[in-house]
Structure 1
Amino acid sequence: MANPEYQESLDGVDKISVVIYRIGITLVSVSLLMIAVAELLCVLEHERAGFMRHLSIHVVAVAVALCAATIHIYDKNIRTLIVWSGWLGLVTFITLPAFDWLFVGFFFMTFSGVALKESYCFKIKGLTLVPLLLVLSVLVIWMKDAALLVVLTGLCGAIFAFLAFKKWQMPLHFDIGKKSNYQI
């Protein structure tokens, strides 16, 4: 996790990983908002609802892969939990596509980890509520309540959008912190 008081010199790989992570966070917000729109289209029985739902899940998968591959957290146990949730979600997404609540649950565990990690760096209202909202979203997916899913994912998407906006304003070294603090 970052320590903004300390400025580490970054090499090319560090810079690329931070940019990819920030793109991942941006895609998290886009994907959650896409889910909200897709579910709203389902509620309205729009003909494009199925396509939008399909597309939104694929954007979620890409966002998870980007965040899981490049998250910067000092503690290896916490980092492993967040990263492996994303990878398990991707494997489940590929092997068991009918169990959407299961792979989305793994994806949302990764997103929850990102939200909690970033809540230590930012005082963004609602960021600490994201894990609860995402857990509720998984339950709602399992129960197939599209109207409630619109609200939950829309709210989470808006919070992540604000986070992404703030992240892109920061210098890159804020995301890395002190390299010697990372457990390997």
Structure 2
Amino acid sequence: MDWLDYLTVITYRLGFILAVPSILLLPWEAETGFPALKACYVAATMCACCLHIYMKSFRLLLQAATWGGLVCYVLGFGMFGLGGAFITLGGLCFKEYFCFKVPGLRAQPVILAALWFALVFDFEPVAQVLAAASALLFLIVSIAKWRMPLHFDIGDKTKFEV
């Protein structure tokens, strides 16, 4: 591993950590003053720009979801763009399930989709429960990621599709 590998692995893992409070506080953003929506975009961007997925098509799909979401946010469609960030974060959780077998982690894309709908349609109690469940799963997978050596995230570089 070179210095850039270390930097991207650490950035990727920090994106998962940032996802915990940002998703947890999304339903309470107005009350807390914490910029949860912006933090979700930052978390997804940190993960998307530092993906180590062998298959180029999946890597580009997850990255494009975040970049598309950011464009929507810049154009004034923040909640619509949040769906793109959730696609990336949910997809990565699904991928991480195969590494860590965390119960419920495969459901994270569905939880995030339901959270997005609850936020858009202002179902506040439902959004609060879903945000808490999603944040808990992000916390568990973040802890699991940081417990393993950094080079495990890179894997075999010869298998990457460029």
TM-score scaled by length of structure 2: 0.95
The 1-side partners of 2:36 and 2:120 are apart by 17
- Give the equivalent residue in structure 1 for 2:37: 57
**What whole-Å deviation, never above 9, does each CA across 1:24-69 have from its counterpart, x for those lacking one?**
1111112111224x16xxxxxxxx51723xx111111110110010
* Runs of at least 5 residues in structure 1 that lack an aligned partner in the other structure: 1-9, 40-47
Q: Distance in 1 between matches of 2:79 and 2:24?
A: 17
In 1, distance between residues paired with 2:12 and 2:20? Answer: 13
Distance 1:75 1:116 in 2: 15
Partner of 1:45: none
The answer to whether structure 1 residue 18 and structure 2 residue 16 are counterparts is: no
1:181 maps onto 2:159 in alignment = yes
Structure of greater Rg: 1
Deviations along 1:94-141, one digit per CA (max 9) or x if unpaired, are 112xx3431111110011111111111111011001001111111112
Aligned length: 162
Q: Does 1:28 align with 2:19?
A: yes
Do residues 71 (structure 1) and 51 (structure 2) align? yes
Given that residues 101 and 139 in structure 1 are in contact (C-alpha distance below 8 angstroms), is that contact kept between their aligned partners in structure 2?
no
Which residue in the other structure is 1:138 paired with? 116
CA RMSD of aligned residues (A): 1.3
Whole-angstrom CA distance in 1 between matches of 2:119 and 2:156: 40
CA distance in 1, matches of 2:60, 2:113: 20
Q: List, as ranges, runs of 4+ consecutive aligned residues in structure 1 with deviation greater than 6 Å.
A: none
Give the conservation status (yes or no) of the 8 Å contact 1:30–1:161. Answer: no
Confirm or deny that 1:116 pairs with 2:101: no
User: What is aligned with 1:85?
Assistant: 65
Q: Give the Cα–Cα distance (whole angstroms) in 1 for the partners of residues 99 and 123 of structure 2.
A: 34
Q: Where does structure 2 lack aligned partners over 5 or more consecutive residues? A: none
